[in-house]
């Protein structure tokens, strides 16, 4: 399989299921794809999914450290509370 075919297949898989993933799950999914491809996998996944290579490396590090991708529910936060822009006071 050549590089262009790999990118097209990955884009299609991501289009079908990637939108339903939270940022942790998306990072781990991209990392697993890159690990499966082997050498040059990070670059291919980064280009196909338009994700930063650093994000993919972080996902690989998390997987290697044994962190599991937890399925998010409506009440589970991915980020710490209090993040984001502060509200304007009138």
Contacts with 70 (C-beta within 8 Å, 6 or more apart), sequence order: 24, 76
Residue 73's pLDDT is: 47
Residue boundaries of the structural domains of the chain: 3-64
What is the per-residue pLDDT across 71-81, written as a single tens digit (0 to 9) for each? 444 456 667 77
**Higher per-residue pLDDT: 84 or 8:** 8
E strands in the chain: none
What is the per-residue pLDDT across 9-33, written as a single tens digit (0 to 9) for each? 878 877 777 667 788 888 898 999 8
């Amino acid at each position: 399989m050549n590089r262009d075919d790999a990118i097209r297949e990955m884009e299609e898989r991501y289009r079908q299921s990637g939108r339903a993933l939270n940022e942790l799950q998306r990072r781990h999914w991209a990392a697993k794809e890159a690990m499966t491809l082997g050498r040059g996998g990070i670059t291919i996944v980064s280009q196909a999914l338009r994700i930063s290579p650093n994000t993919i490396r972080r996902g690989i590090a998390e997987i290697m450290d044994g962190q599991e991708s937890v399925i998010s529910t409506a009440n589970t936060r991915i980020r710490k509370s209090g993040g984001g822009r502060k509200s304007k006071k009138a």
